[in-house]
């Protein structure tokens, strides 16, 4: 059983710079208030196989999350999957980037959520909350990227 959400936003920065910013998951706390801490393994340039270890807080509950980069095609595509086992995980997520005619970058973000155990019962609520927040999440990414780049 799964559900998902997506958001699309135009960031007023060049595609190469936006790709580099988004490929470094250590920037996630800039736009995702649920991320309390995040580290990268191994150090160096993000590549397929890179894992971002994070501590997040959802609905008042802290959990540890490991996201593995499964595909990186500069400067247009980033894919990940959650390698940790929690009640609700990300089966697949990603960014699709394309140049905007005005010189910026159009970014589509998506996540496919999957429930495990009790998470199967919670999945409709989590999916609904994620879909409701998706437009604001996209705007937070835009603001953070434009500030950082």
Residue-by-residue pLDDT tens, the chain, 149 positions = 789 999 999 999 999 999 999 999 999 999 999 999 999 999 999 999 999 999 999 888 899 999 999 999 999 999 999 999 999 999 999 999 999 999 999 999 999 999 999 999 999 999 999 999 999 999 999 999 999 99
DSSP-derived letter for residue 86 is: -
The pLDDT assigned to 59 comes to 80
Q: What is the pTM of this model?
A: 0.94
Q: What contacts 136, CB < 8 A, 6 or more positions away? A: none
C-alpha torsion 84→90→96→100, nearest 10: -110
């Amino acid at each position: 059983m799964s559900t998902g959400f997506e958001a699309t936003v135009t960031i007023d920065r060049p595609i190469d710079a936006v790709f580099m910013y988004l490929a470094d998951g250590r920037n996630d706390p800039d736009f995702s208030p649920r991320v309390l801490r995040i580290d990268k393994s191994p150090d160096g340039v993000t590549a397929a196989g890179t894992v971002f270890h994070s501590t997040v807080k959802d609905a008042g509950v802290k959990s540890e999350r490991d996201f593995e980069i499964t595909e990186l095609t500069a400067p247009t595509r980033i894919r990940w999957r959650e390698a940790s086992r929690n009640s609700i995980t990300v089966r697949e997520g990603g960014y699709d980037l394309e140049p905007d005619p005005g010189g910026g970058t159009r970014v589509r973000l998506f996540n496919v959520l999957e429930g495990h155990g009790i998470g199967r019962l919670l999945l409709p609520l989590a999916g609904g909350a994620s879909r409701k927040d998706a437009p604001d999440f996209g705007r937070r990414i835009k603001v953070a990227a434009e500030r950082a780049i």
